Structure 1
Amino acid sequence: MAETRRPVASLWIGERLQYLNQLCLASHIRHGHPVTLYCTDDVKNAPEGVVIRPATEIMDIDMDVVEQTSASFLSNVFRYKMIRATGAIWIDCDAFCHKPFPEDWEYIFAGHGMRGALNCGVVGLPQECELMDQLLDYYENLPDYPAWWNPRQRRRMDKQDRSAPHPVRIYKTERTAFGPQAFTHFARVTGDIKKAMTPDVLYPVPFQLNDIFYDPHGLVEGHFSDQTVSVHLYTNGTKPWWRKNPPLENSYAWRMCREVGIRPEDALE
């Protein structure tokens, strides 16, 4: 067993993990990171070693809002409240641990994709910092429109159903307004954007290319560098075929499942 390292944590809304989520959680345990999974339901198929805790220990999850948005929507608020309460590193359930997080990393976040905007799929912050304050204030005191929106985005929101909850209207205008957009904006406001790591550290494969994880001839590791610690699998963008069928032999997903000890056929969608 690897030495005990910094704790990591995530949120799961639903009753059952899929195999890629099992894989990613187990990969952190393999490298010695204690893993806590905060859940809204009684999850029975978490990998051995994952500590299951009720999500209500951190915040209440409004399932009406989730049903009108997505299962991951409220995780954008949850992650910062969790970090403030526990000091753990936030990991999305589709972030694969390639190497352990160094102990001296205080700010953990990076750009991703082709455009280089910040992502918040893996986040480490001091429990008390200005960036955390700005993010939590944004979520707890939502403005009429996010401050960074242009007139076109505001007009789009004005066309949304006004009977819907305010967060839902923002989400339906811009799906990432509570996630990467907000994180990037407030990191610029506080000046912490200069602490951002390069994409190869946490998001070596651009999300536009996520089919490569299931391609038996895809050279996934060709995207890695010596600094790569986490590999985001972007399961929200995974094609239905790969969610419902085991990965092809020799693909990255197949190889990592064999390496970590996950049986995909036991947890397909």
Structure 2
Amino acid sequence: MDLNRRPVASLWIGESLQYLNQLCLKSHLKHGHPVTLYCTDKVTNAPEGVVVKPATDIMEIPMDIVEATSASFLSNVFRYKMIQQTGAVWIDCDAFCHKPFPDEWEHIYAGHGMRGALNCGVVGIPQKGELMDQLLDYYDNLPDFPPWWNDRQKRRMGRQDSNLPLAVRIYKTERTAFGPQAFTHFARQTGDIDKAMTSDVLYPVPFQLNDIFYDPHGRVEGWFTDDTVSVHLYTNGTKPWWRKNAPLENSYAWRMCQEVGITPEDALE
């Protein structure tokens, strides 16, 4: 396998990958991207060719905060610190590589779903610059409230348990306050939102329709364009049945597993 394209990387909190995560990581290898998976635990079922490293190579992961929020919560901080330190493109573990990322792309991010806010499931930004500085300052020096919140959101946070850490209270008020909300806000502040790609490039299928990936009669590719390079599978929104059972024959998830060489039955939830 000739891994001569730009590196990509992700974070995994837990002891084992599920088949969709294996599929997505391996799909980047298939297109020539070196893949690094930073892990909090000893993960033994990463696809061959994926370089597994401790998450502490980038930053400490406070597991008490993770347990009070979600496994993906700290990834919102981790991704920018990783990009700053390594220059790799961030990929969520449920982002499938449809085509390789062109080497000349410096800004890799796009809106998603039916609302248009930027998603941060796939992110490439300059290691140095105003956008990076503002994102890391936000995470490293959390304000009492995210600066874009309205009075209703602030009142809702005021009803949270004051004994909880500030980050947890913000998360419990607005789950996406550390992810898409923050990325969209600071990209607007710096003007980098103008460099955003259209949704078909990275998130061709709207989040609201994520079960189409498991429908044997669905036409997932009907959402794709010639510009599509990544396909987000939205595992956080997937019905539990699909995580506990192999995908149905001829569904997109099944076909991609066949194409990339992943056996779903070996890595179910």
Same fold (TM over 0.5): yes
Shift of 1:129: 1.1
Question: 1:110-189 residue pairs with structure 2 within 5 A?
Answer: 110-189=110-189
Taking the aligned partners of 1:208 and 1:185, their CA distance within structure 2 comes to 22
1:40 lines up with 2:40 in the alignment: yes
Taking the aligned partners of 1:99 and 1:177, their CA distance within structure 2 comes to 30
1:250 lines up with 2:228 in the alignment: no
Using structure 1 for the length normalisation, give the TM-score: 0.99
Distance 1:81 1:3, change over 3 A: closer
Question: 1:47-62 residue pairs with structure 2 within 5 A?
Answer: 47-62=47-62
Question: 1:215-226 residue pairs with structure 2 within 5 A?
Answer: 215-226=215-226
Taking the aligned partners of 1:3 and 1:264, their CA distance within structure 2 comes to 25
Taking the aligned partners of 1:124 and 1:240, their CA distance within structure 2 comes to 30
Q: Give the SS at the match of 1:211.
A: helix
CA contact (8 A) 2:5 2:103 kept: yes
Taking the aligned partners of 1:108 and 1:131, their CA distance within structure 2 comes to 13
Taking the aligned partners of 2:217 and 2:207, their CA distance within structure 1 comes to 18
Taking the aligned partners of 1:212 and 1:240, their CA distance within structure 2 comes to 14
1:106 lines up with 2:106 in the alignment: yes
Q: Which one-letter code corresponds to 2:131 in the other structure? A: L
Taking the aligned partners of 1:150 and 1:133, their CA distance within structure 2 comes to 24
Identity of aligned residues (%): 82
Q: Which one-letter code corresponds to 1:175 in the other structure? A: R
Unmatched tracts of structure 1, length 5 or more: none
Match of 1:190 in 2: 190
Post-superposition Cα deviations, 1:188-211, rounded to whole Å, max 9, x if no partner, equal 000000000000000000000000
Shift of 1:4: 1.1
Taking the aligned partners of 1:220 and 1:73, their CA distance within structure 2 comes to 28
Q: Which one-letter code corresponds to 2:183 in the other structure? A: F
Distance 1:94 1:182, change over 3 A: same
Using structure 2 for the length normalisation, give the TM-score: 0.99
1:236 lines up with 2:230 in the alignment: no
Taking the aligned partners of 1:3 and 1:249, their CA distance within structure 2 comes to 30
Q: Which one-letter code corresponds to 2:181 in the other structure? A: Q
Post-superposition Cα deviations, 1:80-139, rounded to whole Å, max 9, x if no partner, equal 000000000000000000000000000000000001110000000111011000000000
Shift of 1:143: 0.4
Q: Which one-letter code corresponds to 2:10 in the other structure? A: S
Shift of 1:164: 0.4
Post-superposition Cα deviations, 1:204-263, rounded to whole Å, max 9, x if no partner, equal 000000000000000000000000000000000010100000000000000000000000
Structure 1 residues 253-262 or 3-12, which shifts more? 3-12
Q: Which one-letter code corresponds to 1:59 in the other structure? A: M
Q: Which one-letter code corresponds to 1:188 in the other structure? A: R
Post-superposition Cα deviations, 1:56-98, rounded to whole Å, max 9, x if no partner, equal 0100000000000000000000000000000000000000000
Shift of 1:2: 4.5
Q: Give the SS at the match of 1:177.
A: helix
Q: Give the SS at the match of 1:176.
A: helix
CA contact (8 A) 2:107 2:195 kept: yes
CA contact (8 A) 2:3 2:34 kept: no
Shift of 1:3: 5.2
Match of 2:259 in 1: 259
| RMSD, aligned α-carbons | 0.5
Q: Which one-letter code corresponds to 1:57 in the other structure? A: D
Match of 1:199 in 2: 199
Q: Which one-letter code corresponds to 1:68 in the other structure? A: A
Consecutive aligned runs of 4 or more in structure 1 exceeding 2 Å deviation: none
